[in-house]
Chain A
Amino acid sequence: MPPVELWRSLDDLAGDPTLRELVSREFPAHADEMLASSRRDFLKLMGASVALAGMTACRRWPSELIVPFAHRPEGYVPGSTLQYATSLDVGGAATGLLVTSYDGRPIKIEGNPSHPQSLGATDPCAQATVLQLYDPDRSQGVVQREGSGEPAPRTVEAFTTWARTHFASLDASKGAGLRVLAEPSSSLALLAIRERFARRFPGAVWVEWDPLSRDAAREGATLAFGRPLRTHLALERADVIAAFDADLLFDDPAALANARAWARRRRAPDDVMNRLWAVEAGYSLTGGSADHRIAVPSVLVPVVLGRVAAVLARAGALPGLPPETRAALERFSSHSFDDPRIAALARDLAGAPGRSAVVVGPRQPAAAHALAHLLNHGLANAGVTVWYSEDPEPARPSHREAIARLAGDLNAGVVDTVVVLGGNPAYDAPRDLDLAGKLSHVKTAIRLGLYDDETSEVCDWHVPQAHYLESWGDARGWDGTAGIVQPLIRPLYDGMSAIELIALVADGKTTPGYDLVRATWQARLPSPDFERAWRRIVHDGVAEGTRFVAVAPELSPGAAAPIAALADAELPRAGTYELTFSRSASLHDGRYANLGWLAELPDPVTKLTWDNAALLHPEDAKALGVKRNGDRVAIEADGRELTVPAFLLPGQAKGSIGLDLGWGRRRAGRVGDAVGVDAYALRSSDSLWRAEARVARRPGTDALASTQDHHIVDTLGKREQAIRAEELVRTGTLEEFLENRAFARERVEIPPDAPLWTPHAYPGHKWGLAIDLTACTGCHACTIACQAENNIPVVGPAEVRRGREMHWIRVDRYFAGDPAAPRLAFQPMACHHCETAPCEQVCPVAATVHDHEGLNVMVYNRCVGTRYCSNNCPYKVRRFNWFNNHKHATAVEMMVMNPEVTVRSRGVMEKCTYCLQRIEAVKIAAKNEARAIRDGEIVPACAQVCPTEAIVFGDLNDPESRVRAAHDDPRCYGVLEEVNTKPRTRYLARLTNPARGEA
């Protein structure tokens, strides 16, 4: 059944005013058994059985209504789930998604396997957008702010009529005073409409702003090749990867694809395993997974790159280098900074021509990117591990220039109308431009946004934006692959999509998004059987053959001078520090600030939740008089000061301070307001990523909500932690492994144990799980996937501080090895389903027992809550509901709940179930079809989203299964096996591949 049809029929249905009225009382969506039964389904609160104990009524629980469709859509099976393909465009690069819908409610977001920019994986943020859909704080109607700024509700009709007349009035001036301030978008439909827009308003200027702009790369390409080419990686071909301040495994438009390719090359250690070098200031996940990490202040990263280039040039590894460039490189060798590992890196690169990749991150200046292009060409990587494509918008000025120019125009008063499409410029534009102030003074400012936020506050009109799960659109991945954005639910509130609004401006009439997108694609797709092609694209979520074509550009000599200039980079003057800004791993640029899942998602490296902090090298901390995490420091940059809690981070470059953007929102919503500090306050247009800062200790200490090292660990504990980290996350070099494949098993002595009785046999299925620590980058996608799948509540900062976070998957982070240059080690920890589970024997009411397939089942409705099981769990993976965590959840918020999983009441224990509901679903289906279950048919939420395929689940009794193979792998070991828990979850030891003699 084509999703379009389904959706439209649903749409028609919900279009019915009476039903909408009826339904909107509880749920603004619509589905079989909507009113009562769905509520019942996803309010699976065991409060119901409290009534049982009370024996109050003669019925055990209040009677319920079943409200079926009057007209059920074709082939639609009530109470079952369907998956639809769509795309999420963030910062102009899309990820392909599969969205699970239950009775018309989107409840889960996963990656679209057929989309090259997802390959079935997703990052935490994309998964959490489903929570955003149901966010009760989203703006729910058009708001007009007259001069006084007092918000007054308006109808959409009122706005559209006003807009029509207003924009008609601009025709005379050809829109000279019209500006559109938009967030980056890869939508083809938008491009098409923009053409119409430009035709109507030739005088208007389209300004694009992205607080996490990657334009440095564009400019670098312009330096190197004369035009703003887009750079792509093909890591599957790379043996040596050198990442210079580039988090290509996590914070990158193609991160998912990169991570997958990178991990595949580390999988089979018998072949050559790739080697990853990271040069960076703060700890990125790429740095955490690197075989070698050189921690230098961000400002010195180009110097390291230059020195490498110089060595290579000397060694003649860079043929055909123009003399002036050669001279430029020479300047680096005389730079004061040096590090022995630089030579090793150069050797390594020289040893792998055409099989290496030099990558520079967006926070580095254009020249550094140019230098990287230079190296990749010299090392014959261009076109192999690195390839280039034309930029979709070559004419576009860089974000920095564009926003600055807009600010100028606003100052000059030549602007009378500004249309702000999404984004949140008043919050995230460089503060020196004071965009908020200027917007509030412009004659007419129209804002399309999901929330009535900082920007809407200063605009005359706020128009609620339709969530991407509610609207039609299209988007292209970083590699150009295009996909359709299709709605899964009718807009909960009166919402408009960006293309609909711009179409209104350009055409002077409202056109449904569906028609706009369809029209755009009609122009691109073969006319005869367009309908089939269109449906196919909508169904698959991917349009074949839309990938960018690779180009083979020639180096232009112009880059020499700017490259030479890099060599003048110097460390910050004494008494000042280098302050680097970075994207928040969870809140992105701040757009997700109101999503509890993400606010409570621990930062992979610091494990901080509900907070950002100034990351300090321990020695810098000592110098500043910062004794422990949370001590306040004042950071002063570009004349503005900010007081931030400090966090001592081993592995942070000395002299460099890291600070996450995206926190400290003022108008994010009930969840996100005043959480963390707003780092944008220190950001200026000429120091987007790096600023020189003065830092001073301020009195007071903030209690940071961390999910690890909750209390200050004393020296005694620290010593012990270091010892145990080695035993828990067993790490070895490729060499060690090849010498002794079972090295991991031999790390810890397992006392011989003869069972006192004959152990239970598991003849049927025997579920098991394996996690490959070599592949795990610690991105926390599994944690969020689990939270979404299993209705895990958000408990808030106060409870996290108490150590009561509920995540079923805890990604343990250890710093191992030399404290000066510590190794980062991640270990996802969930219930191990031990065959001799210590938790079970201590439960007085048999609420946690084994089933006959070896699952350690936790029966919530039997639990009385003695918490003894948690005490006796050596892995501490059980979570207790200290309070009723759903007490204040509104019905709309509850719509995100997975009806296949019980919502736990107060006072019961919960934990990982290996996604029991998914196992049961497949088992029943298979049995109905009288067939066996195929390996890989059952995929737990965590395994499904893992970008590096680190998690494998399956039947240990199936000799062909991947999990069986993993458990038989010589690298495989069980954590705490020595206490004879016989865990079903086992780990594959972490392998690193340091350069010979550099380990």
Chain B
Amino acid sequence: MTQQGPNTVFVFPAWVDELKPFIAAAGVGLPIYLVALVWYGGSPATTDVGYAPQQPVAYSHALHAGELGIDCRYCHNTVEVAAHAAVPPTQTCMNCHTNIRGTSPKLAAVRESSATGMPIPWVRVHDLPDYVYFNHSAHVRRGVGCVECHGRIDAMDVVYQAKKLSMGWCLDCHRNPDAHLRPPEAATQMDWEPPKGVDRTAFGKTIRERLKLAPSEDCSTCHR
């Protein structure tokens, strides 16, 4: 019987085959991981929500809108007639603050602005892409409350972005508006609730029918 000759041939070590299951797992898992990464990493929920820049004046909505209960429209007075909900002129602050806390160091910047006419450079928080045309009046007048897009501003000391404000997010509401509608007159009321025992969606439905609302999914609604 001939013996097997001396072996000089290179053979892969055993662990190479051991690796196979892991490689297979990676092959399946990696794409899934990448998709998840882009999906959540790229989502405005990750990139934008919670954006709370430092403002030149430590203005607290929690105090003014919350505790003092000043209506949104006192300062953002164009919200019902224009696309922009204008940021108020320094003037507006001074209406009260000439008397109240007239000397508070916190308000130095405000007083200076009103004296010199130099504007206060506020930092924009809710910042849509430039090719998106959002019209405040069109929403507020149709019974979409401020809170729907801005969250409980009246509870924010420093304003932050509360919602995704992504296209998909807008479409969700345009497709099923009922759960987000309220009587237009209650638009600025942060803690508005439907009447006791009435389901929010059902109530919104009545609003939609009363105001003959048909939110559009057309591209032309927001992009021009």
Interface residues of A (CB under 8 A from B): 13, 16, 18-19, 22, 32-33, 35-37, 40-41, 43-46, 48-49, 52, 55, 58-61, 63-72, 77-80, 849, 851-853, 855, 857, 859-862, 900-902, 913, 916-917, 920, 924, 927-928
B223/A861 in contact, CB under 8 A: yes
B170 at the interface (CB under 8 A from A): no
> What are 26 pairs between A and B in contact, CB < 8 Å?
A19-B118, A45-B130, A46-B130, A48-B129, A59-B48, A61-B127, A63-B53, A63-B127, A65-B121, A66-B121, A68-B89, A68-B119, A71-B89, A71-B91, A71-B114, A78-B86, A855-B220, A859-B219, A860-B223, A861-B129, A900-B133, A902-B130, A916-B220, A917-B224, A924-B138, A927-B138
B130/A18 in contact, CB under 8 A: no
The answer to whether A77 and B124 touch (CB under 8 A), given A70-B114, A852-B218, is: no
Q: Report the number of A-B residue pairs with Cβ-Cβ less than 8 Å.
A: 165
The answer to whether A63 and B124 touch (CB under 8 A), given A68-B86, A855-B220, A857-B223, is: yes
Nearest-Cβ distance from residue B211 to partner chain A, whole angstroms: 9
The answer to whether A78 and B84 touch (CB under 8 A), given A68-B119, A71-B91, A860-B223, is: yes
B176 at the interface (CB under 8 A from A): no
B90 at the interface (CB under 8 A from A): yes
Q: Which residues of A contact B53 (CB under 8 A)?
A: 63
Q: Which residues of A contact B131 (CB under 8 A)?
A: 44, 46, 48-49, 860-861, 902
Nearest-Cβ distance from residue B22 to partner chain A, whole angstroms: 29
Interface residue from A69, A70, A78, A924 paired with B116 (Cβ < 8 Å): A70
CA distance A284 to B86 in the complex (A): 51
Max chain B CB contacts within 10 Å: which of A43, A44, A68, A72? A68
The answer to whether A916 and B224 touch (CB under 8 A), given A68-B89, A68-B119, is: yes
A63/B123 in contact, CB under 8 A: yes
Residue of A nearest to B119 (CB): A67
CA distance A175 to B131 in the complex (A): 61
Q: Which residues of B contact A913 (CB under 8 A)?
A: 220, 224
B137 at the interface (CB under 8 A from A): yes
Q: Which residues of B contact A67 (CB under 8 A)?
A: 119-122
Q: Which residues of B contact A37 (CB under 8 A)?
A: 124
A68/B129 in contact, CB under 8 A: no
CA distance A637 to B216 in the complex (A): 67
Max chain B CB contacts within 10 Å: which of A853, A859, A901? A859
B129/A851 in contact, CB under 8 A: no
Mark interface residues in B93-122 (1 if CB within 8 Å of A CB, else 0). 000000000000000000001101111111
A contact patch SS: loop
User: 9 more A-B contacts (CB under 8 A) besides A19-B117, A19-B118, A902-B224?
Assistant: A43-B130, A65-B122, A66-B123, A70-B117, A80-B82, A80-B84, A849-B219, A901-B224, A916-B220
The 3 closest A-B pairs by CB, nearest first: A851-B218, A79-B84, A72-B89
CA distance A181 to B224 in the complex (A): 48
Interface residue from A71, A77, A900, A902 paired with B86 (Cβ < 8 Å): A77
CA distance A526 to B135 in the complex (A): 46
Q: Which residues of B contact A859 (CB under 8 A)?
A: 219, 223
B118/A18 in contact, CB under 8 A: yes
Interface residue from A71, A79, A928 paired with B138 (Cβ < 8 Å): A928
B47 at the interface (CB under 8 A from A): yes
A70/B91 in contact, CB under 8 A: yes
Nearest-Cβ distance from residue B51 to partner chain A, whole angstroms: 7
CA distance A67 to B220 in the complex (A): 29
Nearest-Cβ distance from residue A918 to partner chain B, whole angstroms: 10
B78 at the interface (CB under 8 A from A): yes
CA distance A920 to B133 in the complex (A): 10
Q: Which residues of A contact B83 (CB under 8 A)?
A: 79-80
Nearest-Cβ distance from residue B35 to partner chain A, whole angstroms: 15
Interface residue from B90, B216, B218, B224 paired with A70 (Cβ < 8 Å): B90
Residue of B nearest to A12 (CB): B117
Residue of A nearest to B142 (CB): A927
B180 at the interface (CB under 8 A from A): no
Residue of B nearest to A929 (CB): B141
Q: Which residues of A contact B216 (CB under 8 A)?
A: 851-852
Interface size on B, residues (CB 8 A): 47
CA distance A741 to B87 in the complex (A): 59
A44/B82 in contact, CB under 8 A: no
CA distance A32 to B84 in the complex (A): 11
Q: Which residues of B contact A71 (CB under 8 A)?
A: 89-91, 114, 117
Interface residue from B86, B135, B221 paired with A32 (Cβ < 8 Å): B86
CA distance A627 to B42 in the complex (A): 61
B58 at the interface (CB under 8 A from A): no
Mark interface residues in B62-93 (1 if CB within 8 Å of A CB, else 0). 00000000000000001011111011111100
Residue of A nearest to B81 (CB): A77
B130/A66 in contact, CB under 8 A: no
A857/B86 in contact, CB under 8 A: no
A924/B220 in contact, CB under 8 A: no
Q: Which residues of B contact A49 (CB under 8 A)?
A: 129, 131
CA distance A533 to B82 in the complex (A): 31
A59/B47 in contact, CB under 8 A: yes
Max chain A CB contacts within 10 Å: which of B47, B123, B133? B133
B116/A16 in contact, CB under 8 A: yes
B41 at the interface (CB under 8 A from A): yes
The answer to whether A79 and B82 touch (CB under 8 A), given A71-B91, A861-B129, is: yes
Interface residues of B in 192-217 (CB under 8 A from A): 216
Interface residue from A16, A55, A61, A927 paired with B41 (Cβ < 8 Å): A55
Nearest-Cβ distance from residue A25 to partner chain B, whole angstroms: 13
Residue of B nearest to A13 (CB): B117
Q: Which residues of A contact B120 (CB under 8 A)?
A: 67-68, 70
A60/B48 in contact, CB under 8 A: yes
CA distance A161 to B88 in the complex (A): 43
Q: Which residues of B contact A901 (CB under 8 A)?
A: 224
CA distance A43 to B84 in the complex (A): 17
Q: Which residues of A contact B221 (CB under 8 A)?
A: 851, 920
Q: Which residues of A contact B116 (CB under 8 A)?
A: 16, 18, 70
Interface residue from B119, B124, B219 paired with A19 (Cβ < 8 Å): B119
Residue of A nearest to B44 (CB): A60
B89/A928 in contact, CB under 8 A: no
A928/B51 in contact, CB under 8 A: no
Nearest-Cβ distance from residue B43 to partner chain A, whole angstroms: 11
Max chain A CB contacts within 10 Å: which of B114, B117, B124? B117
A36/B124 in contact, CB under 8 A: yes
Nearest-Cβ distance from residue B207 to partner chain A, whole angstroms: 14
Residue of B nearest to A47 (CB): B130
Q: Which residues of A contact B48 (CB under 8 A)?
A: 59-60
Residue of A nearest to B138 (CB): A924
Max chain B CB contacts within 10 Å: which of A36, A862, A927? A927
Q: Which residues of B contact A18 (CB under 8 A)?
A: 116-118
Q: Which residues of B contact A44 (CB under 8 A)?
A: 130-131
Mark interface residues in B35-50 (1 if CB within 8 Å of A CB, else 0). 0000001101001100
Q: Which residues of B contact A43 (CB under 8 A)?
A: 130
CA distance A18 to B117 in the complex (A): 8
The answer to whether A72 and B47 touch (CB under 8 A), given A19-B119, A65-B124, is: no
CA distance A18 to B78 in the complex (A): 27
Q: Which residues of A contact B223 (CB under 8 A)?
A: 857, 859-862, 902
B124/A66 in contact, CB under 8 A: yes
A79/B86 in contact, CB under 8 A: yes
CA distance A602 to B82 in the complex (A): 38
Interface residue from B113, B122, B124, B224 paired with A920 (Cβ < 8 Å): B224
Q: Which residues of A contact B117 (CB under 8 A)?
A: 13, 16, 18-19, 70-71
Q: Which residues of A contact B118 (CB under 8 A)?
A: 18-19, 22, 70
Q: Which residues of B contact A927 (CB under 8 A)?
A: 138, 141-142
B89/A70 in contact, CB under 8 A: yes
Nearest-Cβ distance from residue B176 to partner chain A, whole angstroms: 18
Residue of A nearest to B115 (CB): A70
Residue of A nearest to B84 (CB): A79
CA distance A665 to B96 in the complex (A): 59
A66/B87 in contact, CB under 8 A: yes
A920/B220 in contact, CB under 8 A: yes
